[in-house]
């Protein structure tokens, strides 16, 4: 391989471009404002428990992102027992998908930073919820999840102790996990039609 080819070939670990990651972290350390992101979603109600989200633009790394030519579109629905017709997964299920993805990506990112190769990684999530909260049948019952359990299977080229440390670090640094574990303020403002 010529030296030029070697320069052009990204140094991938766990599918991540290590050099790009190092450069991103270096740029943020030089200019903290590059770390500020704003993510967005637009949602339209259709009928009953059916509504559609469109996700495309966001702000990050100092500018409006323009990398997406099309929006991602997702449908929330409800199963028959919750008065729907399975038009889509329901919102509390999408929350589990978000959480699963976030702990996975966070673990892979920090494994890469530590030089650990991940061979396999999968999760199974269970969230317990009492719908008396949603239905306002009992003020003592929280409407949200009572607790969420993540069962994680990982194969990696490190010791069990290193893996346990990586999992604990992941739990502490995953944005969605942190958003769920920590009280995050949500403000609803009515806009003019």
Q: Which residues from 30-69 bind a second copy, rule CB under 8 A? A: 32, 35-51, 53, 55, 58, 60-61, 65, 67-68
Ranges within 62-101 binding a second copy (CB under 8 A): 65, 67-68, 72, 74, 76, 78-83, 86, 88-101
Closest CA to 74 of 91, 57, 62: 91
Q: Which of 28, 114, 158, 165 binds a second copy (CB under 8 A)?
A: 28
Distance (Å, whole) CA 65 – CA 50: 29
How many CA atoms within 13 Å lie on the side-chain side of 5?
2
- Shortest Cβ distance from residue 19 to a second copy (Å)? 11
Residue 188 near a second copy by CB under 8 A: yes
Instruction: List the x/- string, 161-180, binding to a second copy by CB under 8 A.
Output: --xx--x-xxxxxxxxxxxx
Task: With CB under 8 A as the rule, give the number of residues binding a second copy.
Answer: 130
Per the CB < 8 A criterion, the answer to whether 17 and 109 are in contact is: no
- Shortest Cβ distance from residue 7 to a second copy (Å)? 19
- Shortest Cβ distance from residue 3 to a second copy (Å)? 25
Q: Between 8 and 44, whose beta carbon lies closer to a second copy?
A: 44
Per the CB < 8 A criterion, the answer to whether 83 and 48 are in contact is: yes
Ranges within 118-157 binding a second copy (CB under 8 A): 118, 120-137, 141-155
- Shortest Cβ distance from residue 2 to a second copy (Å)? 26
Closest CA to 41 of 76, 83, 78: 76
Residue 14 near a second copy by CB under 8 A: yes
Distance (Å, whole) CA 113 – CA 126: 29
Conformation bin of residue 61: beta by default, left when phi > 0, alpha when psi is -120 to 50: left
Residue 106 near a second copy by CB under 8 A: yes
Residues in the chain: 193
- Shortest Cβ distance from residue 187 to a second copy (Å)? 5
- Shortest Cβ distance from residue 4 to a second copy (Å)? 23
Conformation bin of residue 115: beta by default, left when phi > 0, alpha when psi is -120 to 50: left
């Amino acid at each position: 391989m010529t030296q030029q080819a070697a320069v052009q070939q990204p140094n991938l670990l766990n599918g991540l471009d290590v050099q790009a990651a190092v450069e991103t972290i270096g740029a943020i350390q030089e200019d903290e404002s590059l770390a500020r992101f704003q993510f967005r979603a637009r949602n339209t109600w259709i009928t009953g428990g059916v509504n559609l989200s469109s996700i495309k633009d966001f702000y990050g790394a100092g500018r409006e992102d323009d990398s997406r030519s099309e929006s991602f579109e997702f449908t929330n629905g409800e199963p028959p027992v919750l008065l729907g017709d399975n038009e889509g997964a329901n919102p509390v299920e999408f929350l589990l998908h978000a959480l699963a993805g976030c702990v996975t990506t966070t673990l892979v990112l920090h494994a890469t930073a530590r030089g650990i190769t991940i061979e396999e990684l999968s999760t199974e999530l269970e969230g317990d919820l009492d719908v008396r909260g949603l239905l306002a049948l009992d003020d003592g019952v929280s409407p949200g999840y009572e607790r969420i359990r993540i069962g994680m299977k990982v194969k990696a080229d490190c010791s069990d102790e290193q893996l346990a440390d990586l999992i604990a670090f992941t739990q502490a640094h995953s944005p969605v996990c942190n958003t769920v574990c920590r009280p995050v303020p949500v403000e609803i403002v009515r806009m003019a039609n």
